[in-house]
Amino acid sequence: MVVASGLGEGREAHGSVGPCRRAEIYLDRNENPFDLPPDLKEGLMRELSKVPLNRYPPSPPASLKEKIAEYVGLSSENVMVANGSDELIGAVLGVFEGGHVVVSPPTFAMYAFFARKEGLDVVEVPLGENFELGDVEARARGARAIFITSPNNPTGNVQPRARIEEVLETGAPVVLDEAYAEFAGESAVDLVRDYDNLVVLRTFSKAFGLAGARVGYAVASEETMAALERTRPPFAVNALSIKAAEFMLDHIEHVNATVDFIVGERERIYREFSACSYPSRANFLLMRLDAEGFLRERGVHVRGLSGRLSGHIRVSIGKREENDCLIEALHAFMADG
């Protein structure tokens, strides 16, 4: 219902689009294509207007931590909030010991970025042919962290829970990045109950549609979380963003409806291009098409990839009419040759 009004808003925004090429369409950052529909946006603005801006934000943000804890089915001692989950990658590296990190390309580039910034070696254990996790256990000894991304960016696949547990059994610190978990409908976050060496990263930037507010969170055992909290300055997250994240958790039915819509659209596009697309559990599709430039000329912006995935594009799922334009442009690309 709520999403329908969001769609209406989208239709208006693109109502005059006619031929797709009249509007620029951004499907390159794995964002949620829906801002809040006007009634919810007004409700949020009313909440924000009550925030005293002369006061420092609550530190820690107890009420947001409570709401997140309820959302993930754990306690607020298991949760830490930060300015986007990017920031948490660096924070996590500060609490463990070890001289290298293990990453599994093709994956999110920020793990290697933060590791190098910390002066750590970056050991690459590439994903297998079907993007399954390789033998990361072989490089577990002495690792500051083994990064696992599920669903993975840019490949879209999830790593099976049993495989994640095998890696946790090494005892090495494991950072499980679940930025896209809501679109997969599955999560291994509850494993923090059994494993002290697990930190799960989550974000409000994707399913919750708050990329502009920059709110992410880490979930870990109470002991690991206490160590993480000690690395953080007070007042790290601003009061407006805290309020926005709380508001979204209070309107989880809207978030869920948005996720359902995006997953439906993902499957619609996948069916259309299954010959050259990988199945995905996230809010984007990886396609074996060297079409970035062709699409850009038609106003459709997607992410062109390099290295092992050169000649591939990663396409974020947009609003229905944006996806229609994408489909039309991709058919034109294929007809072209």
1 contacts: CB under 8 Å, gap ≥ 6: 257
313 forms beta bridges with: 287, 304
Cβ 52 to ligand PMP shortest distance, Å: 26
Residue 79 interacts with ligand PMP (CB under 6 A): yes or no: no
Residue 159 interacts with ligand PMP (CB under 6 A): yes or no: no
Q: For residue 253, what is the enclosing H or E element?
A: helix 252-272
17, 23, 69, 211: which one binds ligand PMP (CB under 6 A): 211
The full DSSP string for 16-75 is: T--SGGGS-EE-SS---SPPPPHHHHHHHHHHHHTS-TTSPPPSS-HHHHHHHHHHHTS-
Residue 10 interacts with ligand PMP (CB under 6 A): yes or no: no
Q: What is the DSSP letter of 317?
A: -
Burial label for 126, CB within 10 Å (0-12, 13-18, 19+), is: middle
- Span from 13-21, 40-48, 79-87, 93-101 in contact with ligand PMP (CB under 6 A): 79-87
Total chain residues near ligand PMP (CB under 6 A)? 13
Task: Number of helices (H) and strands (E) in the chain: give both, helices first.
Answer: 12, 12
- Nearer Cβ to ligand PMP, position 20 or 213? 213
Burial label for 27, CB within 10 Å (0-12, 13-18, 19+), is: buried
The Cα–Cα gap between 20 and 278 comes to 25
For ligand PMP, the nearest residue by Cβ is 84
Residue 205 interacts with ligand PMP (CB under 6 A): yes or no: yes
Residue 179 interacts with ligand PMP (CB under 6 A): yes or no: yes
Residue 85 interacts with ligand PMP (CB under 6 A): yes or no: yes
108, 147, 183, 294: which one binds ligand PMP (CB under 6 A): 108
- Nearer Cβ to ligand PMP, position 247 or 284? 284
- Span from 78-86, 93-101, 168-176, 261-269 in contact with ligand PMP (CB under 6 A): 78-86
Cβ 81 to ligand PMP shortest distance, Å: 11
Residue 149 interacts with ligand PMP (CB under 6 A): yes or no: yes
Sign of dihedral through CA atoms 55, 57, 58, 64? positive
Q: What is the DSSP letter of 195?
A: -
Question: Rule CB under 6 A: which residues touch ligand PMP?
Answer: 30, 84-86, 108, 149, 153, 177, 179, 203, 205, 211, 216
